[in-house]
Amino acid sequence: MPYTIKEMSNLTGLAASTLRYYDKQGLLPSLKRDVNNVRIFTDDDYSQIKLITCLKRSGLSIKDIKNFIDMSDRGDDALNERLEIFHRRRDSLREELKNLQEVLDVIEYKCWYYETACNEGTDKRVRNLKLSDLPEQFRAARENLRGHK
């Protein structure tokens, strides 16, 4: 099914200017144009745009995405290179998730800390709790904040 740039913008949530930029950068090599040189998007273009969005959100630059697309155009000769890109992104994202989980754990601990302090009208008791008296899910976060002694 053919789509106008406005329709594709609505489908993907990307600005029309972003779609034009992707086209100019060579990220949409199969994009067709009509007799008036107006871009005509297809379902395949939609899939390509969704992949570009995913790769961009994963941390790849436009240049790296273009490199990936060029590899795709090379076909089976570049399968291992493409797989390596996804392995690296996966490993990097797993590390980011681990780091974000540590941040979230500290935030969860601080929410508990201040909710408890607010309920008691003071933070004196909460501040002086021994590690073993804390709810178990918050112990690592507090240790993380205080450092290992």
Each residue's pLDDT tens digit, 28-37 = 999 999 999 9
| Tokens at 112, concatenated | 């508990």
* pLDDT for res 148: 57
* pLDDT for res 1: 87
Pairing of strands 32-33, 39-40: antiparallel
Task: Please enumerate in sequence order all residues whose Cβ is within 8 A of that of 117, keeping only pairs 6 or more positions apart, or say none.
Answer: 123, 126, 127
| Closest C-alpha among 149, 56, 140 to residue 103 | 140
Strands, E, within the chain: which ranges? 32-33, 39-40
pLDDT tens across 68-107, in order? 999 999 999 999 999 999 999 999 999 999 999 999 999 9
* pLDDT for res 146: 87
- Average pLDDT along the chain: 95
Instruction: Count CB neighbours of 16 within 10 A.
Output: 14
Give percent above pLDDT 90 in the chain: 96
pTM of the entire structure?
Answer: 0.80
pLDDT tens across 121-135, in order? 999 999 999 999 999
